[in-house]
Amino acid sequence: MDKIVVLDFGSQYSHLICRRIRELNIYCELVPYNTPAEKIKDLEPKGIIFSGGPASVYSKNSPKPDYEIFELGVPILGICYGHQIIVDHFNGKIKRVLNREYGNALLTIMDKTNLFKDIGSSGLKCWMSHSDAAEVLPKGFEVLGKTSSSFSAAIGNNDKKIFGLQFHPEVAHTEKGDKVLFNFAYEISKANPEWSMSNFIETSVNDIQKKVKNEKVLCAVSGGIDSTTCAILIHRAIKDNLTCVFVDNGLLRENERENVAEIFKEKLGIPLRIIDARERFLKGLGGLNDPEQKRKKVGEEFARVFTEFAENEGPFQWLAQGTLYPDVIESGVSGGPATVIKTHHNVGGLPEWLHLKILEPLRYLYKDEVRNMARIMGVPPDLLTRHPFPGPGLAVRIVGEASQEKINVVRQASHIVEEVLVEDNLYDKVWQAFAIVGDDKAVGILGDERIFGHIVSIRVVESVDAMTADWSRLPFSTLEKISSKITNEIENVTWVTYAISSKPPSTIEPQ
């Protein structure tokens, strides 16, 4: 199968590049930036992409590839930091710029062949994120496009088939960025479109069977699309050697426990064991205010619960989880030099003493890809459209200590938010919607009585893959309905606010 290989230099968008290439039905694989050229050669890629990254090429110890990669004769595309790697390697000059570019910029296309073939326009809106730029181009490279702040926003050496882009074609903010990647993958690299989700499912089932063989797998399910799809995939591979367990940690959505039991028993036909661990999770979170500590504590408690279950009901050799790539990249464990944004309980939060091997068949997929997989495997429609829910549950939607009172408030408020969006036919039009509560309080008047109650913040975002997101411009009538229901129906809530920060610079979840 033809493939494109992406070298990860630490960009938060590294796997997004892979995803965009896979959307072209071409298999794409991410490898660490320092992967030896000989190993890359063994992968037989049709093309190689250098990702972006937070470093500067002129800085000491900045990540650099094995330069023998340039001698493989394989087409190369450098993006942002990858673009600067190319300029630096071929004896051009990179410098710090005074007019840094972050956000939208207008790219003027100067060469409509190769990368910009059949683009149709001489100007494109593109997404910039850099403080370094080329001052002097290497010999043999030509300027293919420019912006007001960068004379060489796109460069290329047609003879060597090596190209560089200062902007990010992989993000949705870049106009026709998918066409630019298409041109590199199809026109320049000559890769054939042989990859599909159906093939991925078949390959994954075979891989699970080879990896697990006759061993037993314990699968953590939450009722969300990720863990459910993971369970169905593994069940298809090993049948009765899979045991699915649902842990009620007291941090779940409204009626979650009952809904999950019904889905697995009635709709999926997969046996499910339920563990009531509400008291131990709440006790473990007592006194914790730092979000990373809370995430790690939830992860550690999950591990203890599953270890105890495995010891009593096993033996089991594997713990399966529905980990997705946004979880991995934000936890900084992708194999590249990415910055840790937040630890996810099923990635960085697992302690070393967990004596089970980890099985994560969805580890390199995005949410929309998982939904596509679930659709192919026959997951019920109501589950397909359900909004994402964080592994640590409501603990990350509570700022400060996760007290029982705040858990109750945020659970009820989140339920109201979803309920109103369904009523107003908006639920399926947004990516995620929920409530947040912290320690801030405000004075209110309820029934002619002055009270000092909680401030609840509402978060509703639109996204495609959770790597970037924009706040949703809900109708005022919907916001008014949400606010009225929350203050009328939830005890000790006086104010409701609406969060309007996008990702980046914020994250979707508050903690």
Residue 451 has φ and ψ, to the nearest 5°, of -130, 160
Is 229 annotated as ligand-binding? no
- Residue whose tokens read 């293919």: 144
Cα 371 to Cα 327: distance, rounded to the nearest angstrom: 16
140 is in an annotated binding site: no
Q: Is 92 annotated as a binding residue?
A: no
Alpha helices by DSSP H, 102-216 = 177-182, 197-212
What is the residue type of 256? E
Q: Which residues of 198-214 are buried (b: 16+ CB within 10 A; e: fewer)?
A: eebbeebbeebeeebee
Of 101, 170, 301, 418, catalytic: 170
The 8-class DSSP code of residue 186 comes to I
Known binding residue 228? Answer is yes
CA separation, residue 75 to residues 148, 293, 311, 479 (Å):
28, 45, 52, 51
Pairwise CA distance, residues 445 & 283, whole Å: 33
Set 15, 83, 130, 168: catalytic member: 168
Q: How many CB atoms are closer than 10 A to CB 3?
A: 20
Catalytic site residue 80? Answer: yes
226 annotated to bind ligand: yes
Letter for the amino acid at 407?
Answer: I
CA–CA separation, 435 and 487 (whole Å): 13
Strand extents, DSSP E, 335-431? 357-359
Could you give the 3-state DSSP secondary structure of residue 35?
coil
Determine whether 168 is an active site residue: yes
Annotated binding residue at 487?
Answer: no
* Catalytic site includes residue 173: no
Instruction: Please calculate the CA angle 320-328-38 and round it to the nearest 5 degrees.
Output: 100
Q: What does the chain come to in residues?
A: 511
Q: Residue 464: what are its φ and ψ, rounded to 5°?
A: -115, -35
Q: Are strands 154-157 and 142-146 parallel, antiparallel or unpaired?
A: antiparallel
Distance, CA of 145 to CA of 123 (rounded, Å): 9
Q: Is there a contact between 466 and 460 (Cβ–Cβ < 8 Å)? A: no
Confirm if 448 and 493 have CB atoms less than 8 A apart: no
Catalytic residue among 80, 126, 219, 244: 80
Contact 33, 65 (CB under 8 A): yes
Nearest CA-CA partner of 231 in 357, 361, 114: 361
> According to the annotation, is 222 in a ligand binding site?
yes
User: Which residues are annotated as part of the binding site for ATP?
Assistant: 222-228
Active centre residues (catalytic): 80, 168, 170
